[in-house]
């Protein structure tokens, strides 16, 4: 049996530090690397990133859209790259932001199944249809040892338009966080009263052997942390470092020392390419700063 994603993430962070590097081969970046905007250029880009980083960082986060835009050839590149990255010790977080209901959501969650051609360790999902709509993905993750990161309080400037909307006495973002807290509590199912924070603490430790496999996405560029993460029991994926304006100081200001944070950097590392050594050096600088 594969260890749950939360445990594998904790082990990877302990060995390599918490850095997650996004793999975002958009057309402008391919051109900046002197590569063609086609499956061949995509493959050279992706191979270079995987070669440089898969043996060094805890998590690689390919953005599915940049591979889908090249059709079946692009998906084939990602399938091969995900397998190589995992073989080198990196966890692969598929940035897919999928969200739907019933059998459709279950089909999206198949990426977490070990036998899938594009098998990954975790994926990002969207709760716009309600946190309960993600239950098929939660069930698959539990069955396969996979993980989910649910969009909660994102880093885009107008995110608050919906994420601050009130659902009874809570913001929509807080409803998402509370649901994920429930998923990290054994025995809790959608529809049950939310578990007490003290109960969560009894069964989950943030970076210990019982780290939950279900996390939330909360941007590192927020002015203030306007959701309560206490007792989440799982990791926080924090995009926005570097080019988007977020800093290591922002991470510490927002999340403190007690939250299991996986900070994400993309452009500030990828812009160092196409030289593999330069890519690795850029990632190492972020890892060192996060450890400082």
Cite the active site residues: 97
229: tokens are 């993460």
In terms of phi and psi (left: phi > 0; alpha: psi -120 to 50; beta: otherwise), the region of 89 is: left
271: tokens are 């812009």
Q: What is the DSSP string of 82-115?
A: HHHHHHTT-EEEEEEEE---HHHHHHHGGGGSTT
202: tokens are 């009894």
Whole-number Å distance between alpha carbons of 172 and 167: 6
108's CB contacts (< 8 A; 6+ apart) are: 96, 98, 100, 123, 125, 137
140: tokens are 């698959």
């Amino acid at each position: 049996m594969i260890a749950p994603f939360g445990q594998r993430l904790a082990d990877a962070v302990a060995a390599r530090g918490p850095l997650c590097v996004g793999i975002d081969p958009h057309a402008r970046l391919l051109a900046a690397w002197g590569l063609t905007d086609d499956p061949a250029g995509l493959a050279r880009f992706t191979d270079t990133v995987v070669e440089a980083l898969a043996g060094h960082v805890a998590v690689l986060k390919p953005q599915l859209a940049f591979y889908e835009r090249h059709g079946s050839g692009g998906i084939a590149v990602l399938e091969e790259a995900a397998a190589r990255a995992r073989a080198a010790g990196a966890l692969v977080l598929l940035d897919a932001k999928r969200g739907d209901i019933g059998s459709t959501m279950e089909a999206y969650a198949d990426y977490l199944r070990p036998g899938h051609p594009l098998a990954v360790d975790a994926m990002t999902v969207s709760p716009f249809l309600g946190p309960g709509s993600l239950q098929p993905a939660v069930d698959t993750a539990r069955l396969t040892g996979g993980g989910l990161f649910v969009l909660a309080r994102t880093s885009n400037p107008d995110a608050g338009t919906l994420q601050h909307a009130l659902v009874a006495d809570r913001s929509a973002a807080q409803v998402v966080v509370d649901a994920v807290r429930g998923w990290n509590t054994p025995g809790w199912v959608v529809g049950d009263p939310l578990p007490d924070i003290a109960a969560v603490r009894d069964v989950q430790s943030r970076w210990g052997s019982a780290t939950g496999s279900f996390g939330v996405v909360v941007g590192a560029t927020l002015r203030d942390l306007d959701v309560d993460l206490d007792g989440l029991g799982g990791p926080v994926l924090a995009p926005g470092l570097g080019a988007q304006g977020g800093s290591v100081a922002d991470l510490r200001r927002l999340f403190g020392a007690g939250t299991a944070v996986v900070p994400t950097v993309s452009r500030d590392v990828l812009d160092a390419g196409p030289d593999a050594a330069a890519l690795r050096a850029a990632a190492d600088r972020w890892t060192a700063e996060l450890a400082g």
